[in-house]
Structure formats: C-alpha cells, structure tokens
C-alpha cells in the first residue's frame, strides 16, 4: 500500500503488434442551449451558463481487452438509464456493458438526464415534473458518438499511475451538543485526501489525457445558484487542462460524507470556487510533475461481482430498478449492488459502485488491498443512494435517512471486495 506520493509507469510490450497498448481520448461539449431542470437540492431551473459542461471519454485496448471510461459533468444517472444506454452502445459498437464505466462528477449545477430512478422513492415531491427527453437524447447520442470516435482514434500509448494529496475536502457530518448529526463541516471527521492519478501518453511522449480520482461533493454552490456549472470538479478540470494541454477526466471517489472545504455558498462571487484551482488543481499538477517512470506491460482485466445486501426495512422501490432488487420468500428484500473491477497489470486495480460511498469504506479497502495502487471510482454506472458505515447508521443523519441499505452493508461490501481483490493476485 502507498499512501504517500507515489508513482508507477505501465508501458506496452513492443515485440508483438497485437500486444501493443493503445489509448485515445475525446472531449465533447454537452452544455444545454436553454433552461434545464437542475439535479441536486430542490427542483429548480437554470437561467444561464457559468462554465461549459462536457463528456470526457478515454478508450484503452491492450490487444485483447477494450475498456472505456467516461466522466460526465452531471450529478447522477439512474442504473436503468445506464443499462439502456449500454444496450444501445453494444448494438452500435460491439462494446459490452462490462467494458464501459460511465461516471459522473456529481456537480449539483448540471441538468437532469433521464428518469429519476431511486430518487423518486426518497424525494417524490421533488420529481413531479418530467425530465427533458430532447436534452437527454442529446447527451446519450453525443456519448455514443464520442465512444465511436475514441475507438477510431486508438493509438499506441503508455499508461502511468501515481498519487498525490490535497486538503480541498472535509468531512460534512457535523454534530451538535446533543449528538445530532447534520450536514455541515466537520474538521475532526474522517476524510480521504488522496489524489489518484492515471496518465496516458502517446508513443512520442506527449500527454494524451489525465484521469484524476478525488473524493469531493460537487456542492460548492448552493441551491440558490441557477447557472449551469461543473462546480469544483469542472472548474478544476478546465484549469488543469489549460495548464497541461490535454483533457482531464475528473473521477469522483468515496464522497458520501465528504464536502468541499467551501460549501453551499449562494453564488459565484461568494463561492471561493476559483480557489479550488490552487488547493486541488495545483496539487494535481504537482503530482503529475513528480511522477517518475518504471516500465511494465499493460494488461487489462475487467470483472463484476453482484453483492446482495439487505434493503432497509419499510423502503419502497422504483419498478425501473427491478434488476437491482431480489425479494425473499419472507417478504424481505436484498439490494443487488454491482461492483466493477479493472485490474491493470499486477500493481493497479480500480473498483467502482453506483453509490455515494462513505470514505472510511474505500480507505479500509485500500489499506487491505494486495495491490500497490487501489483507486475507488464513485458515482459509476448509475446511482443507488448512500452507502454509509455501520457506525453512521447508529448515529443517523441525512445520508442514513436517504440510504436504501441497512447497517450490514459496510461489512458485506468490504468483505466481498477484499476477497475479490485477493482472487485477482496471480
């Protein structure tokens, strides 16, 4: 395990053309042309644009396995919407569902895309309107077109991995003198400050793309903001892109109980949002500069494990998510949680979930992982609510109230993921 600044470089073995590692990157604008319902906070419509929002797509191929990673400046998508999208994508491109991870940055200042899914179960009054089908269609089509373009642009590349650190986030589970938990800023609570960095370079050594993994809610701006924005993740990505001259995919981490250090501010002049370019963006640039080289062949191995864990008692369910629930004979129900894995050669593993995971869980997995580099990619392939720790369930708070899981979920997940990681060692 490496918790301090570290590095690793993975390059393709050049002896056989079929084994040469190839990669590509595509960035496409998805900023709406007019007002849109914004996802996050109460229902509200945008009245302008502060900064553009995008899909950023990286495709990788090791000669046998193709993998596509997407980062979109959106808040959430439903797992059912992801399933429909990947079915269409496979028909058009041949890329199977397990080969595509669609992550979102979780900005709360971006449009709704697709049906609400589980959100309607917890917040029925918030989703009384229909989503914009035309804009959703645009987002969907542009992503399929971007993936096709990335497939066509695959070229010999190297892949490098490292870590950095930033103090741009903070635990958000504040406690009053009576012990009640509420959303705020808690400097004494746990927070994951690691930056995970994956760097792709062309065969001539020029930078192709950065993939940056960091845990932070996209909530610098409060619900009073009505301007489209990528919030801190989008602002920082644009800043880094300008500095390095290549696209940067911001991949959110285990941000379920993690806020930006400036959070919930009413508008851009008061938000301090440009300061994130210094406290996070410059730390990303430093990790990029400090990364050194060590060669190894790139091999990609994808996998999935369906974890079944008890659903919270008395909770309803959305019919569109029937593939994500199993009802037992006694009437109780199990949530079927898809856990994805990408092993990159022998020292790197990425794993992902369609949840807002508490940071302690991801850090615990990382500390028990047999891999030198273990990065958790959150908000991936849909959203099935918050997954708090067992301790948090005993404390209460917003995340527990809006979680579909029981207190058993942390133990079920940690045990299953660590066991799976152990099985990947050869």
pTM: 0.95
- Whole-number Å distance between alpha carbons of 314 and 316: 7
Name the one residue in this structure whose structure tokens are 């938000």: 271
Within 266-372, strands assigned E span 300-310, 325-327, 333-344, 348-352, 356-357
Q: What is the pLDDT of residues 136-174, one digit of tens each?
A: 999 999 999 999 999 999 999 999 999 999 999 999 999
pLDDT of residue 125: 87
pLDDT of residue 296: 64
Cβ 158 vs Cβ 208: under 8 Å:
no
pLDDT of residue 292: 80
Name the one residue in this structure whose structure tokens are 């008061």: 270
The token pair that represents 97 in the structure block:
């569902």
Q: Which of the residues in the chain have pLDDT under 70?
A: 1-18, 294-296, 426
CB atoms within 10 A of CB 12: 23
- Whole-number Å distance between alpha carbons of 150 and 254: 28
Q: What share of the chain is helix, strand, coil (3-state, %, to 5)?
A: 30, 35, 40
Closest CA to 197 of 89, 292, 118, 119: 292
pLDDT of residue 102: 98
């Amino acid at each position: 395990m490496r918790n301090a600044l570290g590095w690793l470089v993975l390059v393709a073995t050049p002896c056989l053309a079929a084994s040469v590692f190839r990669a590509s990157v595509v960035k496409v604008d998805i900023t709406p042309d007019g007002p849109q319902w914004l996802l996050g906070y109460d229902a509200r419509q945008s009245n302008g644009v502060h900064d553009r929002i995008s899909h950023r797509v990286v495709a990788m191929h090791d000669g046998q396995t193709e993998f596509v990673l997407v980062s979109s400046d959106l808040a959430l998508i439903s797992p059912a919407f992801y399933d429909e999208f990947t079915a269409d994508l496979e028909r058009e491109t041949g890329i199977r569902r397990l080969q595509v991870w669609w992550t979102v940055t979780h900005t709360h200042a971006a449009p709704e895309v697709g049906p609400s899914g589980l959100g309607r179960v917890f917040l029925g009054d918030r989703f009384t309107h229909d989503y914009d089908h035309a804009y959703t269609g645009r987002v969907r089509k542009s992503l399929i077109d971007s993936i096709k373009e990335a497939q066509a642009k695959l070229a010999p590349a190297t892949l490098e991995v490292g870590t950095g650190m930033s103090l741009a986030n903070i635990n958000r589970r504040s406690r009053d003198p009576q012990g009640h938990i509420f959303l705020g800023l808690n400097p004494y609570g746990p927070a994951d400050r690691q930056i995970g960095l994956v760097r792709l370079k062309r065969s001539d050594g020029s930078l192709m793309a950065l993939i940056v993994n960091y845990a932070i809610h996209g909530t610098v701006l409060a619900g009073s903001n009505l301007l489209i924005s990528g919030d801190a993740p989008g602002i920082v990505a644009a800043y880094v892109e300008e500095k390095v001259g290549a696209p940067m995919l911001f991949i959110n981490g285990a941000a379920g109980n993690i806020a930006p250090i400036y959070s919930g501010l009413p508008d851009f002049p008061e938000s301090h949002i440009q300061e994130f370019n210094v406290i996070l963006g410059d730390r990303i640039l430093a990790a990029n500069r400090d990364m050194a080289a060590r060669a190894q062949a790139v091999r990609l191995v994808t996998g999935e494990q369906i974890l079944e864990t008890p659903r919270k008692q008395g909770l309803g369910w959305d019919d569109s998510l029937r593939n994500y629930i199993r009802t037992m004979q006694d009437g109780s129900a199990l949530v079927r949680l898809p856990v994805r894995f990408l092993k990159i050669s022998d020292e790197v593993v990425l794993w992902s979930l369609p949840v807002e995971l508490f940071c302690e869980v991801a850090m615990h997995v990382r500390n028990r992982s047999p891999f030198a580099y273990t990065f958790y990619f959150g908000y991936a392939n849909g959203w099935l609510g918050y997954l708090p720790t067992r301790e948090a369930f005993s404390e209460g708070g917003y995340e527990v109230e809006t979680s579909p899981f029981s207190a058993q979920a942390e133990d079920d997940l940690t045990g299953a993921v660590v066991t799976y990681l152990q099985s990947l060692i050869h």
